[in-house]
Structure 1
Amino acid sequence: MATVARMIRVLLVDDDALVRAGLALILGGADHIAVVGEVGDGQRAVTAVRGGGVDLVLMDIRMPVMDGIAATSAILALPDPPKVIVLTTFDADEYVVRALAAGANGFLLKDTSPAEIVAAIGKVVGGEPMLSPTITQQLIRQVTDAAPDARDDAAATRVGCLTERELEVARAVGGGSSNAEIAVSLHLSIATVKAHIAHIFTKLDATNRVQVAIAMHEADLL
């Protein structure tokens, strides 16, 4: 896991008070994570993030007033937004696909073990992938199977802007590899891998690794 130099400030967003309480209890046991707020709908989540001081949002999907998908889009449109992990009951939930395509940085199942939740938060804040290769491919198929051909052409144009090395890194990202795995396979330092990924995100107009994988798939490079 990437080393995080400072406390990770987390906002909990779920309309179930018991879920929020359980998550707060879990995260309270981690010395590098601080729960800085709890809200019960997406609109209040956006307001809380606007107030600053949030590094990561744990976002439920189905909520009143504003659902998690709309809230995720609104939060990620803000200047210097926090990371967003969506919470769900099912790993193939259509709403999760939509949230990831909208820019969420990953997802957690609500029955994920406490240790895995804590580890996942550290990984996302450190720039590591959240999804297993199997789940990534399931999500890509659900998004791209209904995509029009025009999206394929647009993806090919964007991917064409990548350098040869960036293309190698993007393929590895699309395959679900972590930064450490990419560094080993391509004989690069982790810092160099992170720099390449930052450039790839910019060139592909992506906000998360799933969007990179989708672009590579649409360009027929995965």
Structure 2
Amino acid sequence: MTSPIVSLENVGLTLKSGAGEVEILTGISLDVTEGETLALVGPSGSGKSSLLMLIGGLERASTGRVTTLGQELGTLGEDALARLRRGHLGVVFQSFHLIPTLTALENVAVPLELAGAPDAATGAAAQLDAVGLAARAGHYPSQMSGGEQQRVALARATAPRPRLILADEPTGNLDSVTGASIINLLFDLRAQHGATLILVTHDADLAARCDRTISLRDGRMT
């Protein structure tokens, strides 16, 4: 039997605040199989984005065990976590997180360069073409619309052909028409590479496109 690409065992997350400790997630146990598409849904503040960050090693669990891409994340230092993410895991954020001083081509080339790709610029150009932005390769983020910036972010996340894509409200800052085109593109790119996709969304129609939906409320799976 194939091991899950993501496995969480009784995971909890507690963060400190000025008012004391705040319990963000409690008792989360979840397995995600290779190639699956999974939606994380629930009201604002339910812990969806925090759960996604735990899976990506961008936040550390307070209790329990998180295993991603065959690695138990709690046993890894920051450098090892960075190596795990590099080339194997793509993350798409709501607010794009492009580097403002780099062109679209340079933004997409960054993860390829970090992964040691022999010709990062050529690979980045091909991925920009795949998202319909070949003509915008030399433009900076400030010169592009929100939809174009998110396309660049998708190209950057998928250029290294990651096994796992994490998307946190990828259409949250976009109008409905642009958002729909971004989602279609995200699912197309995932299908082309056979990647596993875990996404956070408030959109019921988008969640329905996934193989499975997990609901959270007050930091617990419901």
TM-score by length of 1: 0.36
The structure whose RCO (Cα within 8 Å, separation 6+) is larger is: 2
Higher helix proportion = 1
Higher strand proportion = 2
TM-score by length of 2: 0.36
